[in-house]
Amino acid sequence: MPDRQTDASGGARVRDVVHDVVAEVASDELPLVAGLARSDDATVVRRLSRWGQRREPLGFGLAEIAAMVTPVVWLAVDEVAQRLAGAAVDGTAKGAKGLLGKVFRRKKTPAVVPPLAPEQLVEVRQRVLELAAQRGLEPEHAITIADAVVARLALPRGPAQGPTDPDASTPTQG
């Protein structure tokens, strides 16, 4: 994905997180990610949600495939980001100080996940594991996916930054 973006808070676009995680754990699904990237985030979430429940094709030529990583990652990251953003807007997120309100959901504007606190990363990891189980992924594969999502969210990279420092702190695993 050539057009990686971050917002002023250092957050990462949901679609960039999905691309990076899928490239790491299920590179054969990158054509699916590329196809989905042609749509706005709200449309992608709607398609992936329906597809998982009704076993429908995704609408751009890919046939039904059993357990896939892309829907799990996209739906989990988007869902947690939206819920945390809603909590921040309602004033119920402790310590967020409005940061989580920077998740955008406007047509043609990709959703952005701000940097997350360790406890929020644990929540994201748990949600990935739950969705992976619902979608029929093997538990070992689900753990690999969840860990990759947390690692990517813990160390967001901007477009001009190089590889992250391997000595940087790592997220708490739970």
Question: What's the CA dihedral at 83, 111, 63, 66 to 10 degrees?
Answer: -40
Longest dimension (CA), the chain: 44
Task: Please spell the DSSP secondary structure of 140-174, one letter per residue.
Answer: HHHHHHHHHHHHHHHS---TT--SPPTTS--PPP-
pLDDT digits (tens, 9 = 90+) for 31-90: 999 999 999 988 999 988 876 555 545 554 444 444 689 999 999 999 877 776 665 555
User: What is the model's pTM?
Assistant: 0.71
d(CA 37, CA 134) in angstroms, rounded, equals 24
What does the domain layout of the chain look like in residue ranges?
12-154
Segment 128-151 mean pLDDT: 95
Is there a contact between 131 and 18 (Cβ–Cβ < 8 Å)?
no
Task: Select, from the ranges 112-116, 127-131, 164-168, the one with the highest average predicted confidence (pLDDT).
Answer: 127-131
Please give the pLDDT value at position 115. 86
